[in-house]
Structure formats: structure tokens, C-alpha cells
């Protein structure tokens, strides 16, 4: 249950948070969104706690008892973000093949080698819901998309609270985005090891089927 600084293969730096409990990925992803939205906003707190996020969530889900162990309803999390004063957030569940175009519309891709220009042009982070093949769901945060010139493939930098690491995930327009839940093979890590991680030599195959994005920035 800590913050970790990760440097990916494109030399981008990401601050990732490792979830505190077995099913608190939705709470941890919300923490990451808050930090990424507020870190450069003077007078705004860039940190929050999973407990604070949980308390806000319980206003909207009357069935919730122990959110960290029960998980959350992903489609409700935009309401939590709206209560955290970081803009107006919206939930969307389009066809999985339409999700790439929506992501590219809301988070402008970095151009490899463009440096600081990418930081200026980039949009806001996006929360993603991954549905595993019959074994549940998982919330993560997309904070950067990289485009290599003359190539049709985009690369999503996904901050995963399951291991507190960044997962580079390729995707193309018009195709469902497949996500592999497994240990990262390459990244530069600062901050030690996360409390949770994917098992050695195993992985889960998933597809991104819902997103929560910032419709109106603060």
C-alpha cells in the first residue's frame, strides 16, 4: 500500500499506487486519478486515502459494507470522482471495438521524441475497467498513450494497482483492447516492491469494456 515511481520503455515517468486490500483496485485507481489531476494545481490536495474514497462511495451504494474486500460497482465511480472536486467525470460503456477511438479523443497521444510538447498537449487520466475471462473485473488507470510515427499501433501506459507498476499495452483503432494481468518484464522501479503482485509465470487475459473519463476539467 505505497506509491511507486515507474519509468517505462518510452522514458515516461508514472506514479503508481499499490492497492491496500484484495479487492480495493477501484479505491486505489481513484487515488491515482486524484493525484494525477491535482499534483500541479496550487491550493489543491494531491492526496486522499482509500478510506475517504470508500466513505464517498458508500453514499451511492447502500449495499456496501467493506468495500476493500467486496470491490465496487465500476459504473458508480464517476460519482465519487465528481465529489472530489477534480472536474466533471462521465462513465461510458460503448462497444469494446469503439473504446480505442474514445480513449484517443479524451487522452491525446504522445508523439515519440516530442518531449515537453507532449506534457502540454496531453489530456486527463482515464479509469479503465477490465473484465477477466469469467473470473471477475479489475480497475486500472491510463495516464499516457504513445504513438510511434508511421505505425498504426498505439501504446497505452496503464498504471495497475494490483502490482503498483505500469503496463505498456498495445492497441489499434477499431479493435478491442486486450490486457494481460501479469508481472511486468521491463520497467525501472523506485520505491521497492508492492504488497501485492501477479503470480510468477502466470497471467490473466482480459478486455477493457468500460471507461470513466473527465468530460470537463477543473
Kindly report, residue by residue over 57-101, the tens digit of the pLDDT: 999 998 888 887 888 999 999 999 999 989 999 999 999 999 999
Strand partners, 146: 110, 155
Residue 149's pLDDT is: 80
Mean pLDDT of the chain: 85
Q: Please state the domain extents for the chain.
A: 3-185+196-216
Q: Does the structure show a pLDDT above 70 at 202?
A: no
DSSP H helical ranges for the chain:
25-38, 50-58, 67-70, 77-82, 99-106, 116-121
pLDDT single digits (tens) 2-31: 788 888 888 888 888 888 888 889 999 998
Measuring CA to CA, which residue among 77, 65, 59 is closest to residue 140? 77
Q: Is 81 in contact with 200 (CB distance < 8 Å)? A: no
Q: Is 157 in contact with 171 (CB distance < 8 Å)? A: no
What CA–CA distance (Å, rounded) separates 92 from 89? 10
Instruction: Please state the pTM of the whole predicted model.
Output: 0.89
Other C-beta atoms closer than 10 Å to the C-beta of 91 total: 17
Task: Fold for 3-185+196-216, please state it.
Answer: Cathepsin B; Chain A (3.90.70)
Amino acid at each position: 500500500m505505497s506509491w511507486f515511481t515507474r519509468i517505462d520503455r518510452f522514458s515516461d515517468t508514472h506514479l503508481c499506487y499499490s492497492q491496500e486490500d484484495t479487492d480495493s483496485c477501484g479505491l486505489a485507481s481513484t487515488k491515482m486519478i486524484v493525484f494525477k489531476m491535482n499534483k500541479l494545481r496550487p491550493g489543491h490536495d494531491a492526496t486522499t486515502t482509500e478510506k475517504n474514497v470508500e466513505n464517498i462511495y458508500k453514499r451511492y451504494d447502500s449495499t456496501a459494507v467493506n468495500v476493500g474486500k467486496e470491490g465496487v460497482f465500476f459504473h458508480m465511480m464517476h460519482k465519487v470522482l465528481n465529489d472530489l472536486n477534480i472536474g466533471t467525470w462521465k462513465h461510458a460503456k460503448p462497444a469494446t471495438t469503439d473504446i480505442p477511438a474514445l480513449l484517443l479523443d479524451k487522452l491525446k497521444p504522445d508523439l515519440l521524441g516530442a518531449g515537453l510538447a507532449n506534457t502540454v498537449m496531453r489530456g486527463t487520466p482515464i479509469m479503465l475497467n477490465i473484465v477477466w475471462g469469467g473470473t471477475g473485473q479489475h480497475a486500472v488507470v491510463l495516464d499516457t498513450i504513445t504513438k510511434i510515427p508511421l505505425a498504426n499501433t498505439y501504446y497505452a501506459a496503464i498504471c495497475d494497482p494490483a502490482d503498483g507498476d505500469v503496463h505498456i499495452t498495445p492497441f489499434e483503432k477499431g479493435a478491442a483492447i486486450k490486457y494481460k494481468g501479469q508481472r511486468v518484464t521491463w520497467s525501472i522501479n523506485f520505491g521497492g516492491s508492492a504488497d501485492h503482485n501477479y503470480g510468477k509465470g502466470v497471467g490473466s487475459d482480459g478486455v477493457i469494456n468500460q471507461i470513466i473519463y473527465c468530460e470537463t476539467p477543473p
